Structure formats: C-alpha cells, structure tokens
Structure 1
Amino acid sequence: MTAPFIDPADSLERQNRKLLKITSVLMRRVEQAMDDSGAAYAHFQRALMLEEEVQARTWDLEQTLGLLNQSNAELSRANRAAERARADLSNALEAVQEGFALFNADDVMVMCNSRFGMHMPDIRAQLAPGLTFQRYVQLVSQSAHLALPEGETAESWAEKRKQKHKENHVNFNVRITGDRWVQVSEHRTPDQGTAILQTDVTDMIRLERQEREKLLDDQARLIRATLEHINQGICIFDDQHRLVGWNRRLAALLNPPMHLLRVGTSFDRLLEHFGRDLTFAKGQSLRGVRDWVHQESSRQPLSLEVTRQGKTHLDVFGQEMPDKGFVISFTDVTGEREAIAALSAVNETLEQRVLDRTLALKDALEVAERANASKSRFVAAASHDLLQPLSAAKLFLSSLASMDLSEEPLVVTQRIESALNSVESILAALLDISKLDSGRASVELSTFPMNQVLAPLRDEFQPLARKKGLDLRVVGCDAVVKSDPSYLRRILQNLIANAIRYTGSGKVVVGARHRDDTLSVEVWDTGPGIPEDKRETIFKEFQRLETAGPSGEGVGLGLAIVERACALLNHPLRLHSQVGAGTGFMVSLPRSRGPVRPEAAHVPEAAGDKAGAHVIALVIENDKDVRWAMATLLETWGVSVFDVRDQAEALALLREVGVAPDILLVDYQLDRGENGLDAIDALRAEYGRLPAALITANRSQDLRKSCDTKGIGYLNKPIKPAELRQLLQALGPHPVPALRGDPRSERSGIGGKRQFDLAHSLRRRAMR
C-alpha cells in the first residue's frame, strides 16, 4: 500500500524518513476520526501494521548494510592479496636467470624482468610494458648488438622473426656481437598471449664446438661435408638408438632446444618432444615409428608424411644401416603440398625429386662406408708393419737380457723392454678399437664356467698388485655363463688393470653376484673415484683422469675398448662411483644351463733353464731383422736354428743338409703372396707331420680356426719371449724323423754333427 509513496531508487535512510512521516500522518487521522465511526479503529490497526512493516524493513536494511560493509572489507583484502601476488610474481621473475617478457592477446607487453634484452643495452630502456610486439621486433632488428647472418638485412630478419611469431611454439638462436648466442623460446599462452624466454647459451654452443672439434677426423669431415650439401634434415642414430650426427638443415626444420640436439640423446626422448606437434597421414602413427625403431629383425625402409603444427609438411624417410643403426631424413615439402592442391599434375615430378634425393643420400652413405673400410684396412696394414720391427727389437732385448751384462746396461735393457711393452699394448689397443669400430669384429658365443676366465686373471695381476702394495682379491665363481671368453677376458683384463692403475692404496676386489637369470661380474676398487662430470668422458678414446698418478701409465683406450666390446656382446655395462671412496664397474652376463665347452689344457712349464735343448728349429720369416733376432734368441736357449726367408729356400736348405727340423716356426705373411700355412703344408708333405707354430700379426678368428684344424700352434706378434719359450716347451723336444731315402739323416754320431755344422754354416752364409 505504501509502494506509490516510496521510490526504490531512494537511499535506505530517505525511505525510512518517508515511512516514519506516513506513519505519523496516519496516527493523526486515526485520532481525529476516533469519534466519527468504527472505521477509525480499522485505520488504527492498519497504522500498527505499517509500523511493524517499517520496523521489519528497517531491520532488513541494517542487515544489508552490514553485508555490504563485510563485502567491502573482503574486497579490500582481496585487492591487497592481488597486489602482494603481483609483487611476488615480479620478484620471482627478477630471480629468474633468463630474460622474460609477457605479451597479451593484442601483442602488447604486459610485463618483463630486468634481464629481458640484457644482451642489447642500446634498446634495453625501451623494453617496457605497453610496448607492441611489432615495435619490439623492429628495435631488436636495428640494434647494433645483433649479429645478422651473412647476406641478411635488418628488414628481412624482422620479417622472418614475425613469421616465427605466428607459430604456437618456437625455439631459435640469435647471434650477438662478441660471438655470443641467445636462445629465444616463444610459447603461446591459453588466452592467446605470448611468453618469451631469453637464455644465454654461449657456453653450451662453445662447448659443443669443442666436442665436435675433438671428434672430427677425415671420415667425419667427409660425412659432414656430404650431409651439409643435402637440402634435407638428416639425423643419424647408432644401434642403441642414440643420436650420433645431424646437419644444420635438421635444426632449421625442427627448431629443437639446445639441450636435446646433442650427441647421445635417445630417439625416444626426441620423439616424445616433437610428437606433440606432429600430425600423421592416414594409417601412420607415433606408435608405428617407435615400433620400427625398436624392431629387432632387419628394418624395411620407412616412409612417412607428417604435418608440423598444422603448417609445415615434411616427408620423413628412415633407412637401416649395416651396423643396425639408422638414418632419418626430413624433407620440407610444404611448397609442394600446397602446389599439389592446385596442380595435381606435378605429383609425379615431386615424387621423382624425393626419390633422387634419397638415392643421393644412399650414395653418400656408401661412400662413407667405403672410406671407413679403407681406414680400417690402413690401420691393420700399418699395425702389421709396426709390429715387425717391434717384434725384432723385443727378441734382441731378450737375447741381451740372457747375456752376462753388468748392472747398468741390464737396467737400461729392462727400461727399453718396458717401453717396448707399452708400445705393444698401445698397438694392440688400436687394433681392437679399429676392429670394433669397423664392424668386422666377430664373436663366438659359448658356455663356460666363470672361473675359466677369473682364475688366469688372478694369476696375471697378483704380481702387479703386490708390487704396488695393493690387496687384489678375485673371488671364484662356478656359475656357467654364455659369452665369448676371449672378449670377456679382454673386458675384465682392462677393468682390473684400470683399477690397479688408479688405486693408490687399499684393495681391488673382483667377484660375481647372481641376479635372476644373469650374473653380474664386478670390479671394485678403493681409488679416488670418478667425478660426475667425467663419467661419460672416461669411455672416450685417449681420455685419462688426472688421478692416474705420476707414472702416467696407459693412454686412455682401455675403457673405450670395454664399452665397445660390451656393446658387441650385448652385455650391459654399469658404473658406480663415489669421489674419495672408490669405483665399481659391473658387467651383466646371461647365465646358461647348457653343456660347458671343455677348457683348453694348461701347458706345464718344462723343468730346467734350456727350453729347447737338443732341438732344431726351422724359422721361416721374410723380415731379415725379425729372422735374425729370433735366431739369436733361440740360440741363447740352446736351440739350433735354420732360418730362411720363404718356403722354397727352406726346402732347398733341408734337402742340402739332409736333416729334418724338430719344430717349424713360420711367419704368416711371406713375400710374393705366399703364406705360412701353405709353407707348413708343403714341409709336412715332404717330411711328415712336423710340430709347427704360426707367428703372425693377424688376429682374425678365421686364422685361429685354420691353425686349430691343422694342429698348428698360434703366436701373435710382437713375439713375447716368455710365450715363445712356453711354445717350445709344449711342442718339443721330439725325435727327428728320418729324411726319406737319405741315410745321412741320422742325427747321432759324427755324421749328425757334421750335418748340423753344415746347416749352421749355410745359415750364417745366407744371413751375410
């Protein structure tokens, strides 16, 4: 009833005053009309009701005012909290080591920290909230601190920068004057704003340059030159799915972050990063690519078409290499795909171009493989040529050591022998590295007890450990494993030698732990430990820690061989080290329950000092120095020697003197394409099955098998006098078989003595 008299737009105080006035007027009217009629009572009741309504309305208004005051207080607190949050955000951005800026959806800068644009002090003062993105790009392009690429102008650079801004996520590097680099990471926010992060990556780029310079050799330079001239992004992975090479075109196509595009990054990690931005053609998927990479059998060529960020179309081609690694190429076909939408007639031409480029890549890889094979052949040939004079030198030194020398010459002789032993170990390591890298290394897996390898290693290294004052403990293990015993022995030999070399005091423990179906063979030492940042470096060639000690032993090839041999055998290799507490290397081998291959019989040492007493040895060696050195050494042991250069000279000499030798010591590589196996066969054909040994620098498994099949001993160059002496003890002495049809062949009595003197005279005359 009071609605026509009250304006809802009035304040609560004005409405209360109107209601009170209405009530007062009504009360007066009631009092005046009290005597007129009974209607006055009704008016009075109505006035009371109005008063009650006014009181209720007043209470409601008071409650509303209280809620309004409370809301205002909460709003003030929220505003203060927002201010604090904004201040905290500003402080957090200032604490970030990188430059940071945020642009809103209208490409206007909202905020930035003090490090944003710090590499360009000439424009730093203008980088502030309210700056448009267009103006920001213009300022950067015109900065005196921006090092533009060759042939690039500030305008063209700015245009390319604006094109990159259209992508949702982008990473690229900017070169600054003074050979400094900044990585710019630009990401779109959910509200279509843009966050920009500037990171100084100068140290990373310089370190990567240094690492690349260390690894470059002739082969790498050839491959790099080939890849850099291909208009495709190329990445190469090894058989462990690790990145080992790429070209600049790949970085331009995919814009990867610096921490991902590094040697050793796994394929799965790269696929996880780029897969979020890739759209595959029908019937193709990320899972299919991953399955292709992890396929154990031979991979068929893989061809894909993907779209990156909905804009860039890429043809992806994958090809397996002979060493089970693989190559993936990326071809930017965005222009072609856009042209196909309008001109489908050029489809065949585009396919032919892709095919031609793929064939060009295959040709380049074949060239690289041929270069690698040539390098391996060169290393093998050079090593053989070096082993010949080294072998002669060691034999001459052994002859000197057996003479009655005074103390000073004897010490010098021992030092020379030690130096030659070091050279020999380096050459052996280089041969192993060359064989493992070339892919020519073959393994012969067999089952054998672990003690077959551990026991000889204990006997081999105990003297060296005692000499250094170390406690070497080799814990025996009867578990049967499946591996190549030769390679496994070389792995453990290098690990034990490494542990002894780097341990100044304490002990070295070698043992095995059973782990389900595998056996973990472990080598632990109490040495100085390996720092975290050196644990990948130690497996590279010619890398040694500074803690090697003053002796300077080793050249840093042992662990490189260990890593390659473990990869060849598929034996996982693990490392655990604590600086100041020691290091442990663990090699996991598959256990076996199959039949055990019998262990080679141990050759006992013959009693006495003269290993070859009353023995005649025929030495066939085309190198004059090696032949003379071996003859001199054998004669110091009491062995009578016929030494000749080839098969024909050997047969002629034996027919002339009428005496058959007790032992044949024959070099494998002779002149005019002849080889020692054929020479031994020819001599045995005429004089019967003579005991024989092949002496060679060739370490192939096929040659060893041929010697085993023919019952011929095998001795590697450079010749170790101890091994040669043991070989004589194993093969001789034997009775000399009679020469067919020649009564002069008897070795007893005066006739035999004359024949021997004649042979000795003939040999000396031949040497002169």
Structure 2
Amino acid sequence: MSLINPADPIEVQNEKLLRIAESLMRHVEHNSAQSGEAYAQFERAALLEKRVRERTLELERTLNLLHESNAQLARANDETEAARRNLADAIETVSEGFALFDGNDLLVMCNSRFCRDFRDTVRDLRPGLAFEDYVDRVSRSRYLSLPEGTSAEAWARDRMRKHNDRRVLFNVRHGQDRWLQVSEHRTANSGTVILQTDVTDIIRLERQERLKLKDKQTRMIRATLDHLDQGVCIFDETARLVAWNEKIGTLLNLPVRRLHLGASFEGLNGLLEPEFHFASDGAREGFRHWAEQSGRRGPISFELTRDVGTVLQVFGRGMPDGGFLFSCTDVTAEREAARRLTEVNEMLEQRVMERTLELEDALSAAERANASKSRFVAAASHDLLQPLSAAKLFISSLADRMGNDGDRAVLGKAESALTSAEQLIDALLDISKLESDALKFDIRPVALREIIGPLRDEMEVLAARKGLKLRMIDSGLTVESDPSYLRRVVQNLVANAIRYTDAGRVVVGIRRRGGAARIEVWDTGPGIAEEDQSTIFEEFKRLDTRASSNDGLGLGLAIVERACARLGHPLGLWSEPGRGSCFMVSLPVVGGAVPSRPTVAGPARPSGLAQAGLIVLLVENDPQLRRAITVLMESWGVNVIEAEDAASALDLLQDLEITPDALLLDYQLGAGMTGTQLFGEITTRLGRLPCAIVSADRSEALREACAALQIELLAKPVDRHRLGRFFDAVVRGTLAAE
C-alpha cells in the first residue's frame, strides 16, 4: 500500500513525503524506549527520501524533453503550413487547372482554375474528395458536351478506364464550342496530377487550317482530274456524283448538262445502253449491282465497245467512306496493236515451228554423227591398242636381251614413241567419253590421300628425270567426286606442271574453304599470259611450239576442263609470266572419312628368277599380242599355255590335266564369252586361281566387275612392270601357301 497517491502532482507528493519524514523524526525522538524500531523507521524514511529525489530528477528531465519536443513540433507545423501556403500560392500561379490526388485517389489540393469551366462542380472540390466522385460530378455537369450517342454513365466509365493508365491525354468539349485538354500523370508515390488546359483557340485554328487545306485539296484534285488522260467519275455513298473531269464526258459521249453535282449513277448508266456494249450480258447488271451495294466494294474491271469501234477499259474501286469511283481509258489502239501482234506471233510461231523441225532434224543428224564418231573412236582405239601393246611387249622383251647400250637407247626411243601413241589414243578416248551424253559418273566419297599417295610415286619419277623437286602434301579430307576421273584430272595437272617447268619445283596441296576443298597445283614454270589463259584449254593447243609430241599432245588440259565441267568442280587458274602458274580444282567436302584401301607395293621391275617355273594360262584372241606376251613371259622363265578363245582354253586344260599357277585372260574373247565369265568357269572346275584380265575397255563397269571378283585388271597396252608385279604377287602367294 503506498503512502502517497501516485496521481498527485510531484509537488504534492514531495510535500506529503516531507510531512511523513518530520512525523517519523518526532516519533523517534519522543519514543526513546523504542529506539531500535525508531531507527529502522528512520532508515526507511531516508531511503524513501533518496528514491523520491531520484524520481523527482527523472521527472524533471522528462518534462524538459517534452517541452523541447513540443517546441520542435510547433516549428515543424509552422514550416509545414508555410510550405503548404507556398505550394498553394505556386499552383495558383499556374495558368492551367491543377489538381493533386494522393495514392488513395483522394483530392489533396487544387487551384482555383481547376474545373472552373464546370461551375456546378466547383463547390464540391474539397480535400478528401475521391477521384471517382470527382469523375461522377464532372460527367453529370450541365456544362459538359458529351459525344453524340454517349451517356454520362458511359463517359464516366471510359474516364475511369483511362485513369488506370500512367499517362492520359484527351480533349473534352464544354460550353459553346470550347475545348479543354486534360493531361493526367502518375507521381512517384502513386499519386495523380491532373492538368486542364484551354485549347479552344488551337482547335479552332486547326479547324480553319483544315478547311483551307480541304479547299486547296479540292482544287488540286480538280486540276489533277482534268490533267488525266483517263475519264474519272467519283460518287459518294448515296451513288451521287461529287467529282469528274471533262475526259469522262468525251469518252462516254455524255452531254454536259448530264454531268453536274449530285447526278445519280443510275441516270448516267442508262445513257450508255444504246451506244455501248458490254463484253457479256451479265456484265452490265454486275456493274449496276456493284455500284448499288452498300459498304466497302472490291475492285471491278471490264471493257466497253462502242458502235464506231472504240474500246474502253473501265476500272472501278470502292472508297473508305462508302463511295466509289471508276475510270475509263481508251484502249482502242492497244487492242488493235494486240490483234496485229497476235497475227504476227502466229506467223512467227509457224516459222519457228518450221525452223525447229529443221533444227531437230539437224540435231538428230549431229547426234547420230557424234554417236558414230564415239563408236568409231572407241573401236579404233581398241583396234590400235592391240598392235601397240604387242609392239611394246616385243620391244620390252628384246631390250632385256640387248647388251649394247646404243641398241638399248634406240629401243628406248621406240618404246617412248609407242608410249606417246598410247597416250594420244587414251586422250582421244577420254575426250570422246566426256563429250558423250551417255557418260555416267560414279560419284561417291573419295579420300584425297587415296588420290595423292599413288600419284606421288608415279610423278616423282617424271620430276626426277627433269631435276625438279616434287612435293605432294597429303590431306585427311574426304570429297565427293568420281575417283577415276578425279585421279585423271590431278594426274594431268601435275604432269602438265612437270612438263612445262624447266627448273624449280612443283607443289600439290589442298586448302579447306568452308564446305569445299581446293586442290592446288603450283609450279615455277614460265607462266601463262592473260590473253593465252583461255587458249590452253583447247584441244591440241600448246604455247611452246618447239615442244615435240613426246612433250605432250595438247589434250591434257582439254580433258581436265571437260571432266571438271561434267563433274561440277569449278576450275581456276592463276598465272604470271616469269613467276609460274597455279591450277585449282574445288570439290565439295563430305563429313565422314573414307577408309583407305590397302595397296600392295610391288617391285618396279620383274624379279625374273623369282618367277621361273610359274605356269600361266594365257587366253588372247589377237595372235600378235598373244605372241608378244608369251615371248615376254618366257624371257622371265614363265611357262605359258596359250589359247585363242575360251573353248580352246577349257579343252586344253582338260587335255593337259594341269592346274596353272595363274590366269591371264583377255576380256573380249568372242564366241559369246568374256574373260570374267571364263574365270568363273575355270574357278568352278579347278578352284580359285590368281587371275588378271587384260582389256582395252576402260569403263567403270569393268573395273567394278573385276573388283567384285577380286581379280587384277591390266589395261592395254600391257605395262610390263604391272604384269611383273602381278607375277611377283602370285609367287609370294604360292610360297606362302607352301
């Protein structure tokens, strides 16, 4: 229980505490018998006095803080009121109507110009007014001019929808043709600022300018219509004439009194019936229906024919406001010209047809002649290769027996001359094939290393003979081409570079260019002048007139150009006289690599003694070639069993009862059997034996057939080195079997 009332003021509490202390002191002094208890009460009174003093100090500090806070609050109120007065004064100076709504869409303040033109709403504009109520009062104001067909409620709903946007700008009409532009913006604290600007003068000025412009445009349209070479009529949405030019009256033969403002379309259309004819009976009704329909019209076009022969082209189109226009053009001259042109075209077509038939006959004759030439070249090449092959083999076998160097040199020159003749026949055969429409390419992925590698071994010998350095850089790229023709192209380019380079080097490399690989053959030869760079691709054209036939026949680059053109491989050339040349062939690169086929390297010359004792069945229908091959093989110690055709070969094997070590068969044996068929028959009787087919046929079909049978193919004229390598392979196979 407290001795004082806490609700009393501090002064009262202090006065009570002092009286209590004095009473306790008197009590202690008069009651000496109870001194101990009195002393205890004194201590309590002293402690109580200390606490009262501390409480008094705390209360005094609290009062000081309260007085200071009240002072600061008073200063802040004064500053706020001053800022509010300044803001009110500032917005009052704004020439436009101004209003500020807070984030809760309640009116904070506005100036006297805000809604001044809506006098029946001014009395309701007080702080705290909701934005929706403000819109409702304006929508019901008798000074607001609502758009035609729009109610106050609809206007208020549209105004509230606009209020949802961060920026709003629109015009409001009020009073007697006066306009306010209302601009509404959001503040950073989601409040809303509204500005009302009187734009009456601006709108009236724009209206005057629009009327002036419209009048000017009308004069310009009139001048434009009169300037047109076409007749033009423009009708409004009620099909009444609103604009026209003089040309329309001339073309349609309409009297001037009929062409006046407001003339009906139906009346003008009726004037055309006696004199003009539509292309069809339904065209006139279709035109009338098109003009009378409401809404947007699509384009319409037709022709009118006049009795005097005049032809008019009529084109009509609808306009956005529901009206339409149509124009008339006199196309009589064009139609007459078209008629005459048709007659001329028919006459020319007849002549072209006759000429085409003549050209077809000439083309057929040329194709027959070309086919005959191709057959003749193929047959002549085959017939020429037979004696050439025999001659080369006879010379080769004779050279092995000659001990005199001079005689060997003479035989070497003879063999070189025969080799040149063989190259000429091969080139002619290639040219004939490339010019034939029946040529079929074997387009497939080809690994470039399979082309570069074998050619390097072949061309290094030619380069070494001339003292040139040949460098052929391998590539891991795989391209899409015909492998045999691609090899021939690269071979001809490298051989051509070696042939015409006297000193220096020849470099063959491949550059990757996106999805293409470019084979480049560089040389340090004499170079080619720009005016001669197209000539070198012609047949039998050589820039070095001193070169002999052994230095080239002038067909290599012609074959390269034709092969690249038929294969679709772009062929390029860079050359500078005195510096050298570069021939480039671009090929498409394919994604996957093609595994290279293993090649078996054989000796450059037959080993002779290693082949002694072999028994070989030779079947060749040409006696001279058969004898030449026999003499050559016998010089190597090979035992030869000769036969002229397949039947005699089979009978001979049956009579001798011997199994040869190898077979050397001509492909074209006659009597309805080929070399590959004979190989199959011998395999059936004696089992599989090493076999080589000898043929002048260089077709892809024969190569594929031999590859499928896994037998060797030797081209005529027979190369003694390739024949020797074949026998060496037979010997190695025999020894391995033993």
Relative to the length of structure 2, the TM-score reads 0.51
Q: Which has the larger radius of gyration?
A: 2
- The equivalences for 1:166-565 within 5 A come to 341=339, 354-546=352-544, 549=547, 553-565=551-563
Counterpart position of 2:210: none
Counterpart position of 1:256: none
Counterpart position of 2:727: 728
CA-CA distance at 1:476 after TM superposition: 2.3
CA-CA distance at 1:541 after TM superposition: 0.3
CA-CA distance at 1:441 after TM superposition: 3.1
The separation in 1 between residues aligned to 2:494 and 2:734, in whole angstroms, is 43
CA-CA distance at 1:407 after TM superposition: 2.1
Counterpart position of 2:647: 648
**In structure 2, what residue type is equivalent to 1:418?**
S
CA contact (8 A) 2:665 2:675 kept: yes
1:678–1:505: structure 2 CA closer, same or farther, 3 Å change rule? same
CA-CA distance at 1:681 after TM superposition: 2.1
Deviations 1:439-471 (A, max 9, x none): 333222232332221122222122221221212
Deviations 1:650-707 (A, max 9, x none): 1221122111211111111123443222222222222222222110000111111112
SS at match of 1:415: helix
CA-CA distance at 1:552 after TM superposition: 5.7
**In structure 2, what residue type is equivalent to 1:384?**
H
SS at match of 2:650: helix
Deviations 1:20-62 (A, max 9, x none): xxxxxxxxxxxxxxxxxxxxxxxxxxxxxxxxxxxxxxxxxxx
The separation in 2 between residues aligned to 1:661 and 1:646, in whole angstroms, is 17
CA contact (8 A) 1:502 1:547 kept: no
Alignment of 1:638 onto 2:637: yes
CA-CA distance at 1:646 after TM superposition: 0.5
1:518–1:614: structure 2 CA closer, same or farther, 3 Å change rule? same
Deviations 1:496-529 (A, max 9, x none): 1111111111111111222111111111111111
Counterpart position of 1:566: 564
1:355–1:399: structure 2 CA closer, same or farther, 3 Å change rule? same
Counterpart position of 1:694: 693
SS at match of 1:671: coil
1:611–1:418: structure 2 CA closer, same or farther, 3 Å change rule? farther
**In structure 2, what residue type is equivalent to 1:430?**
L
CA contact (8 A) 1:457 1:493 kept: yes
Counterpart position of 1:766: none
1:531–1:341: structure 2 CA closer, same or farther, 3 Å change rule? same
CA-CA distance at 1:602 after TM superposition: 2.6
The separation in 2 between residues aligned to 1:339 and 1:645, in whole angstroms, is 79
CA-CA distance at 1:479 after TM superposition: 2.1
Counterpart position of 2:589: 591
CA contact (8 A) 2:608 2:637 kept: no
1:685–1:517: structure 2 CA closer, same or farther, 3 Å change rule? same
Counterpart position of 2:223: none
Counterpart position of 2:115: none
SS at match of 1:719: coil
1:563–1:401: structure 2 CA closer, same or farther, 3 Å change rule? same
Counterpart position of 2:208: none
Deviations 1:705-727 (A, max 9, x none): 11222232211000000011112
The separation in 2 between residues aligned to 1:607 and 1:497, in whole angstroms, is 26
SS at match of 2:609: coil
Mind listing any 5+ residue stretches in structure 2 that lack a counterpart? Answer: 1-334
SS at match of 1:381: helix
Alignment of 1:669 onto 2:662: no
**In structure 1, what residue type is equivalent to 2:386?**
Q
**In structure 2, what residue type is equivalent to 1:708?**
A
1:638–1:580: structure 2 CA closer, same or farther, 3 Å change rule? same
**In structure 2, what residue type is equivalent to 1:554?**
G
The separation in 1 between residues aligned to 2:469 and 2:410, in whole angstroms, is 30
CA-CA distance at 1:611 after TM superposition: 4.8
Deviations 1:285-320 (A, max 9, x none): xxxxxxxxxxxxxxxxxxxxxxxxxxxxxxxxxxxx
The separation in 1 between residues aligned to 2:427 and 2:651, in whole angstroms, is 40
CA contact (8 A) 1:508 1:525 kept: yes
The separation in 2 between residues aligned to 1:647 and 1:551, in whole angstroms, is 39
- The equivalences for 1:686-765 within 5 A come to 686-732=685-731
1:645–1:537: structure 2 CA closer, same or farther, 3 Å change rule? same
CA-CA distance at 1:632 after TM superposition: 0.8
**In structure 1, what residue type is equivalent to 2:535?**
T
**In structure 1, what residue type is equivalent to 2:702?**
L
Mind listing any 5+ residue stretches in structure 1 that lack a counterpart? Answer: 1-336, 737-747, 749-768
1:427–1:600: structure 2 CA closer, same or farther, 3 Å change rule? farther
Alignment of 1:581 onto 2:573: no
Q: Say what the alpha-carbon RMSD is for the aligned residues.
A: 2.8
Counterpart position of 1:617: 616
Counterpart position of 1:684: 683
CA-CA distance at 1:380 after TM superposition: 0.2
SS at match of 1:402: helix
- The equivalences for 1:100-179 within 5 A come to none
The separation in 2 between residues aligned to 1:650 and 1:573, in whole angstroms, is 49
- The equivalences for 1:595-610 within 5 A come to 595-605=593-603, 608-610=607-609
**In structure 2, what residue type is equivalent to 1:674?**
M
CA-CA distance at 1:375 after TM superposition: 0.7
**In structure 2, what residue type is equivalent to 1:414?**
G
CA contact (8 A) 2:389 2:716 kept: yes
The total of aligned residue pairs comes to 401
SS at match of 1:432: helix
The separation in 1 between residues aligned to 2:342 and 2:511, in whole angstroms, is 66
SS at match of 2:611: coil
CA contact (8 A) 2:420 2:550 kept: no
CA-CA distance at 1:396 after TM superposition: 0.8
1:508–1:649: structure 2 CA closer, same or farther, 3 Å change rule? same
**In structure 1, what residue type is equivalent to 2:361?**
D
CA-CA distance at 1:735 after TM superposition: 5.8
The separation in 2 between residues aligned to 1:347 and 1:539, in whole angstroms, is 42
CA-CA distance at 1:551 after TM superposition: 8.0
The separation in 2 between residues aligned to 1:585 and 1:704, in whole angstroms, is 29
CA contact (8 A) 1:576 1:583 kept: yes
1:433–1:354: structure 2 CA closer, same or farther, 3 Å change rule? closer
**In structure 2, what residue type is equivalent to 1:446?**
R
1:399–1:355: structure 2 CA closer, same or farther, 3 Å change rule? same
